[in-house]
Structure 1
Amino acid sequence: MMSFNLMTLCTCVLLVLSTSLWSCATAQSDVAADCCLTTSDRRIPQRVVKSFTIQTGNGACRIPATVFLTKKGLKLCAPFPSESSWVSELIDIILAGPVRKPPKHRGKKLSKQ
């Protein structure tokens, strides 16, 4: 009689453990992908863009796109760089980094000698 109770207890523990492991694995695989569903050919001003990523048509995201991140945190979907010249130009500008302006002289102008 005692072995029956021990066997039942072990079975219940095993069942609870396997159920909780299965639910954890299922919850982790249900993460939604943040994808561009469409793209816009409208030019995005360089001054508002902070960075970019490339979305390939593989995996969870079905269409190829360029995702520009604005300084305000918005994600803007543009065509793939090979499909639009303005997109590839904007990417080149971002990769080149910020343009440094020469320092302005304050006060008296320097005279040539």
Structure 2
Amino acid sequence: MALRILLPLLLLAAALLLLPAEGVDNVASDCCLKTSRKTIPSAWVKSYRIQGPESGCLLRAVVFTTKKEKKICSSLTSPAVQKLIRSLEEKQKTPPQKPQGRSKRQKRKQA
């Protein structure tokens, strides 16, 4: 008699463990699990994003993307990281300057 009650409960528990929870994406696969202490040259970095609980990650960190599409995780509290973030934000504010005037090649063709 106890087996009749226990068996369906065990099957239900196993099913719940094996099925993924609804509405939960696997965002943790893109989360930093640790941060680097090395200084990152600003010339390498093209962008950054901040990860934390609001993005589904346990560790609060800055994820820098290099020009070679590599991801580097850094501590948000590091002064060097804060400086690099400010530098990237300044670059985004100022539009890239266009060369003024004609190039040497254009000048030669005209002459």
TM-score by length of 1: 0.57
TM-score by length of 2: 0.58
1:37 lines up with 2:33 in the alignment: yes
Distance 2:84 2:43 in 1: 10
1:95 lines up with 2:89 in the alignment: yes
Which is greater in Rg? Answer: 1
Distance 1:35 1:88 in 2: 20
Identity %: 38
Give the RMSD, CA atoms, in angstroms: 2.9
What pairs with 1:1-113 in structure 2 (closer than 5 Å)? 26=22, 29-33=24-28, 34-58=30-54, 60-80=56-76, 83-97=77-91
Deviations 1:72-112 (A, max 9, x none): 111100001xx210000000000001786x97xx99xxxxx
- Runs of at least 5 residues in structure 2 that lack an aligned partner in the other structure: 1-18, 105-111
Distance 2:89 2:25 in 1: 34
Deviations 1:4-28 (A, max 9, x none): xxxxxxxxxxxxxxxxxxx9x85x7
Distance 1:87 1:50 in 2: 14
Distance 2:32 2:72 in 1: 8
Distance 2:40 2:62 in 1: 12
1:59 positional shift: 5.6
